[in-house]
């Protein structure tokens, strides 16, 4: 998060939304990688629909 906040400039709404979107993609990537490595995470999110349901 520190790197994203340092390199993505802008104090307006567009900069804030871009930083938030980038962090959402980074978190999604982490969960998808952990699903393939960890049995506990795979049990928690067995399908992409379970992941979407957990976010909303």
| pLDDT tens by residue, 5-50 | 788 888 889 988 999 999 889 988 988 898 889 999 889 889 889 9
CA 11 to chain centre: 21
Higher pLDDT, 53 or 1: 53
pLDDT at 13: 92
pLDDT at 4: 81
CA distance 27 to 45: 14
pLDDT at 6: 80
Query: Is the overall model pTM greater than 0.85, yes or no?
Result: no
Is the pLDDT at 55 greater than 80, yes or no?
A: no
């Amino acid at each position: 998060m520190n790197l994203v906040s340092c390199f993505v400039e802008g104090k307006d709404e567009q900069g804030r939304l871009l930083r938030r979107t980038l962090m959402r993609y980074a978190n999604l990537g982490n969960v998808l990688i952990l699903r393939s490595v960890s049995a506990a995470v795979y049990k928690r999110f067995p399908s992409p629909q379970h992941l979407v349901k957990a976010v909303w």
